[in-house]
Structure 1
Amino acid sequence: MSLRAAGHLFAFDHPHAVAPRELAGLLGGKGAGLAEMTSVLGLPVPPGFTVALPVCLAYRRDGWPADLDDALAAHVAALESRMGRRLGDPADPLLVAVRSGAPRSMPGMLDTVLNLGLSDATVEGLASVSGDAVFAWDNYRRFLTMYATTVLGVAHDDLPAGPAPADESGLRDRVAALKASIAAAGAEVPQDPARQLRGAVEAVFRSWDSPRARTYRVHEGIDEDLGTAVNVQAMVFGNRDDRSGTGVVFTRDPSTGENRPYGDFLPRAQGEDVVAGTARTLTLADMAERLPAAHRELTERLGALERHYRDMCDVEFTVESGTLFILQTRVGKRGAVAAVRLAADMAADPTIALTRDEARARLDDATIERARAEVVAAARQGAAADAVARGLGASPGRVSGTVVLDADAAADAEGHVVLVRPETSPEDVHGMAVSVGILTSTGGLVSHAAVVARGWGIPAVVGAHELVVGAADVRTPAGEVLFGAGDTITIDGTTGEVWLGATTDAGGTADLTDDEIVARDLPALAILLGGATAQPAARTSSSMSSANPT
C-alpha cells in the first residue's frame, strides 16, 4: 500500500502530542529542533514545514508519492498566507530554503537549495520591492548555481568561475552565462516555482544515497535505512544590507569545553558561505562590534537553548537588517576532552543539573581513552621549530604525516597522511576519514572541515590564509614553495601552527606518569569517575573564542 503523503507534512508550529524534540525519528533532527524552538521556546524562527521521514522512505521504495505535489502545494499556500507573499509572485515573491534533516546529524553530507522561487520574472520583483537590484540578482546567481549543481547534477567546473560581480550589470551577465552553461550541459532550471520545489525536495531525498553520505554513515555507524526529512522554510537574508549577516555558533567551545560561545560570523552573506569554508569569516566579537543588539539577543538565546536541551548546542543564525533569526539547533559535536569537561561542568551547573549518572552516560570508554591520550600527548609534546604558517586550531591534537593534496590521493595512500586543501567540501569526506590531520587555507571554526574533523577526533587547522594550496605544492602568497605532495609536515589543532617535518615527544613532563598528567590537566575526568566534587565553570564574559589570524 502506498504512503499517503498528506498526513506526513507538518508546519513547524504543528501541535504534536509529545514534545517535538522527541520526534527526530519522524521529523528528522533539524525538523524536530525547528518545531521545538517554534512551538515550545517561542524563538524567532522563520516559519516553514517539514516533509517527514516516512515520505523519504516511500520515495526510496516506490518513487515520488502520488499526492505529494498536492500536499506540498497546500503547505506552501499556508506559508504564503502567513508571510503575506506568494511563491512565484512577480511583484513581491516569497522565497524559500529547502534543507535536509536526518534523524542523526550528518553535517554537510545532504543537499540544500536556497533562494528557491527566483526566476526571470520574480528577480525583477525582488529588485523592485527590496530597492536593491544587486541584492536581487546576486540571489538569482546563487540560486541558479545551487540548483544546477545540487538538483540537476551540473558539475561546478562546467559553470562560470571567479568572484561574483559587485554591480547589477555584471550580475545580469553572470546569470546569462550561468543559464548558457547549464543549457550546454543539457539541463534547464525551471521557471515554475512548483517544479523548482519538487526538484529540490527530490534532490534532498536522493542525497541520502550519495557516495559521500554513505561514507559518512559507515564512519559514524548510522543505519542506512533511516532516510532524511526535508524542511521548507521562508528565506531570511543575511546578505540583505550592512546590518545583515549569518553565522554558526556553539554554546560552548567544542574543542576544550570552555564555557563561552564559539563560532564564526560573516557579514552580508548567506549560511552556505560560512559552512563551505570558502570565505574569511569574522569572530563573534566582531559581530558584537558591528551588530551589538543582535549579538546581545543571540547570547540570550544561546543560554536559553543550552538550558532547555541540557547540553552544548550548535546553532545556525541569520541577522536580516538588524533582526535576529534562529535557523537551526542541535546538540553539538565535540572533541573528547570537551566531552569530559562539558559533562562535569553541566553536572555542577545548577541551571542544567545533570545527575552524575547522566553525565557519566555521555562518555563511552572510547571517548575517555581519546581524552586521556589527548591531554598526555599535549603535555609530552616537545618544542618545535618556528612555524611556517598559522591558522585556527579547529580540532585539537598535534600530528605529523605525509602531505596529500586531494581526497582521492588520501584515500589511496598508505601510512599517515595530512590532507591539505584550500577548503574541504562534502565530496572530500572519503579522504578526510582516512587522514590523521586536516589543513585548509580558508574557512573558519565552524566550516565543514572543522565540524567533521572535531566530530571524528582528527586534528585540524583551518584558515591558514598565508598558504596558497595548488595542485602539486603549497606556496606563500609571493610564490615561494613551502612544501609539496609527499613531504612531511606537522600540524597542531590546538594552537593552529604548521611546521615542516615531524616532531617527537620530548616535553618537560618526563617525571610524571600518564595518570598524573591526566589528574593535573583533566581533573574533570576524576570528578566523573568518582573523585572530587565539581565546581561550576564560570561563563567567560568575553564574546568569543580565538580571533582569526591577521
Structure 2
Amino acid sequence: MSDTKRVYRFGSDAGGADITEGASSMNYTLGGKGANLAEMCRIGLPVPGGYTITCQTCMEYSSAGNVWPEGALAEIEEATRDLEARMGKRLGDPQDPLLVSVRSGAPFSMPGMMDTVLNLGLTDASAEGLIAQTGDPHFVWDSYRRFIQMFSDVVMGVDGDLFENALTEKRLVAGVKTDAELSADELHELVGEFKRIFCEHVSGEEHPELIQNGAVAFPQDPSIQLKLAIEAVFGSWMNERACIYRKANGIPDDLGTAVNVQAMAYGNKGETSATGVAFTRNPANGARERYGDFLVNAQGEDVVAGIRNTVPIQKLAEYPALKQAADDLERIFQILENHFHDMCDIEFTIEQGKLWMLQTRVGKRTATAALRIAIEMVEEGLIDKETAVRRIDPAQLDQLLHPQFDTSAKVEVLARGLNASPGAAVGEVVFSSDDAVAAAAEGRPC
C-alpha cells in the first residue's frame, strides 16, 4: 500500500464533536472546497461530517487511464467506515441509513463546471427504512427520485431531459405547479418511472456491475454507487466545460479535483428546512449587503440549476420557522469575513431549523464590485492598501468597458432569468455554447 495519504477527515459527528485533518492552506491537496470545509471546522462552524479524497489521487487515476492507484480504494473504504461510526449510521442500512453527497472541489474555484451527486446511499430497502425513521414518505421519495435522476445524469450520462420531461408530465397530470406539491404516492411512482428510464438508457456491456438477473438495474449496493460517483467526479475534471473554463481562466490542467464525501443535510424536510447560496457582500456592485437566493423545502441543486424561482436571501428571516437559522447565518457571515478578510461565497442548508454550512470560498465579483470592496475593506481595517491593490486583477477591469443597459431606458420585457454575465448583449438568442459557435460561424449575431 502507498504511504501517500489520500483521504482527510472533517466535520461534526452525531454527538456534535468536531474533527479536522486539513486546513485552508491545503487547497492544492484538498481542493478549495475541502480545504475550506476543514477551515470552517477549525473555527467552530457547523459542518456535516465527511472526508476529502485528494487532487493527487484524481490525477493518478486519470493519468493511468482511469485505473485506481494502489491502496486508494482501501483507504476510501476505511474512511467510509469511519464516517459511518462517527455519524452512528451505515450506508444502505435498511433501518437507519447514512446518506452522503459526493462533490468536486478543484484547487481554484470553478463554479458549476464539475459534478455533484446528492442523496447517495438510497436504495429500495434504505428508502423504506428512512420512511420508518422519519415518518415522512414525501421527503424520502422526493430524495430518492432526485438521487436516481442525478446519478443517471451525472454518473451514467443519461439525458437529464428524460427525467425533467417525466417530472413535468407528472405535475401536469396531478394539476400542480411545483415538485413540492406532488404527493408522496406520486413521487413514489416517479421513482419507478425514473428507474425504468435508467434501465432503458444504461449499457450493461459498459457497466456489467449493474447487471442483476440478466438485465441492467439501478444499483442497490451503496458501495457500487459510491465508487461510480467518485469516478464520475474525477472524470468531470476533463469534461468540455471544465476544460474551456480552465483555458479561459489560466488554470493548469494537471491539478486535478478533490472529491468531498459528506453526510447529507436536508433542506427538503418541509417548511422548517431550506437551502441556499449567498455572498457576504453584493458581488455585482460591492455594496455591504447580503446577496443570494434560497428555497424553502428544497435541495441545493434546485437553487443553482436555475429551474425554480428562488427567494432573495434578505427574506430568510421573514419565515418564522427559519428566523433562528437566519440569525445564525448572519453571525457566520461576519465570522467568515473577519477570518478570511475578504468577501465570501457560501452554500448552506437548514434542516428542521438547524443551520449547516456546506461550503465557503472567496467570492467571485465584477470589476466594479472588486474596486468598491477593496476600498471599503481598507476603510474597515480588514486589509491594508497593498492587499487592496493586489486584489484588483488588471484583466478584470475589461468588464468596466462592457456595454451596460441604460437603467432609465424603457424596455419591453419578454422573459426573465437568473443573471450570469457582466454586461449587456444584443443578438439572436441561443441556448447552448455549441449553438452560439455554430451561429457565429454562419455570421449570425447571437
Q: Tell whether the 8 Å contact from 2:290 to 2:314 is kept in structure 1 after alignment.
A: no
State the partner residue of 2:73: 69
Map 1:135-150 → 2, pairs under 5 A: 135-150=139-154
Query: Taking structure 1 as reference, are residues 6 and 243 closer, same or farther at Cα in structure 2, changes over 3 Å only?
Result: farther
- Deviations, residues 144-186 of structure 1 (Å, cap 9, x unaligned): 1111111111122444342447222212211111111111113
Alignment partner for residue 26 of structure 2, among 23, 36, 41? 23
Displacement of 1:302 in angstroms is 0.7
Bigger drift between 149-158 and 101-110 goes to: 149-158
Shift of the 339–166 alpha-carbon distance from structure 1 to 2, 3 Å rule, reads: same
The one-letter amino acid of 2:10's match is F
Instruction: State the secondary structure of the residue aligned to 1:121.
Output: helix
Is the CA contact 1:239–1:269 (under 8 Å) kept in the aligned structure 2? yes
Question: Is residue 268 of structure 2 the alignment partner of residue 239 of structure 1?
Answer: yes
In the TM superposition, 1:201-216 aligns within 5 A as: 201-216=230-245
SS in 1 for 2:48: coil
Matched-pair identity in %: 45
State the TM-score, normalizing by the size of structure 1. 0.71
Counterpart Cα distance in 1 of 2:368 and 2:308: 29
The residue number in structure 1 matching 2:390 is 361
Aligned to 1:320: 351
1:294 matched to 2:325? The reply is yes
The answer to whether the aligner puts 1:183 opposite 2:199 as a matched pair is yes
2:53 aligned residue (42, 51, 66)? 51
Distance in 2 (alpha carbons) for counterparts of 1:369 and 1:329:
27
**More helix as a share of residues:** 2
**1:126 paired residue number:** 130
Letter in structure 1 aligned against 2:368:
V
Q: Is the 8 A contact 1:46 1:327 kept in 2?
A: yes
Superposition deviation, residue 280 in structure 1: 0.6
What is the SS of the residue equivalent to 1:366?
Answer: helix
Larger Rg: 1
Q: For residue 110 of structure 1, what is the aligned residue in structure 2? A: 114
Shift of 1:54: 1.1
Q: Secondary structure at the match of 2:364?
A: coil
Return closer, same or farther for 1:28/1:388 CA change in 2, 3 Å cut-off.
same
In 2, the alpha carbon distance for the partners of 1:58 and 1:403 equals 41
| 1:254 is aligned to 2:283 | yes
- Residue 123 of structure 1, CA deviation: 0.2
Distance apart, 1:140 and its partner CA: 0.7
* Residues 1:388 and 2:413 are matched in the alignment: yes
Deviations 1:229-254 (A, max 9, x none): 00000001000121000000000000
Q: Distance in 2 between matches of 1:55 and 1:43?
A: 28
Matched, 1:167 2:183: yes
Q: Does 1:338 align with 2:369?
A: yes
Residue matched to 2:175 = none
CA contact 2:97–2:129 (8 Å) conserved in 1: yes
SS in 2 for 1:398: coil
Contact 1:242 1:267 in 2 (8 A): yes
Question: Is this contact kept in 1: 2:167–2:190, CA < 8 A?
Answer: no
Cα 1:132/1:260, change in 2 over 3 Å? same
Are the equivalent residues in 1 in contact too, given 2:278–2:347 (CA < 8 A)? yes
Question: How far did 1:395 drift?
Answer: 4.5
Residue identity in the other structure for 2:184: E
State the AA in 2 paired with 1:104.
F
Moved more, 153-162 or 51-60: 153-162
CA offsets 1:94-141 (integer angstroms, 9 cap, x no match): 000000000011111111110000001000001110110111111110
Aligned residues: CA RMSD? 2.3
Among residues 176, 198, 210, which one is paired with 2:227 in the alignment?
Answer: 198
Q: Counterpart amino acid of 2:300?
A: G
Q: 1:41 to 1:416 in 2, by over 3 A?
A: farther
Number of residues of Structure 1 aligned to a counterpart in Structure 2: 409
CA distance change for structure 1 residues 186 and 415 in 2, over 3 Å: closer, same or farther? closer
Provide the TM-score with structure 2 as the length reference: 0.86
1:390 CA drift (Å): 6.7
TM superposition shift of 1:382: 8.7
- Distance in 1, matches of 2:129 and 2:4, equals 32
Q: Which amino acid aligns with 1:328?
A: Q
Matches within 5 A, 1:128-527: 128-159=132-163, 160-162=166-168, 163=171, 164=179, 166-187=182-203, 188-290=217-319, 291-350=322-381, 352=382, 354-371=383-400, 373=401, 381=406, 384-389=409-414, 391=416, 395-414=421-440
1:401·1:416 contact (CA, 8 Å) conserved in 2? Answer: no
Aligned mates of 1:61, 1:389 — CA distance in 2: 48
Q: CA distance change for structure 1 residues 202 and 43 in 2, over 3 Å: closer, same or farther?
A: same
Distance 1:174 1:345, change over 3 A: same
SS of the residue corresponding to residue 12 of structure 1 reads: strand
Q: Is the 8 A contact 2:286 2:368 kept in 1?
A: yes
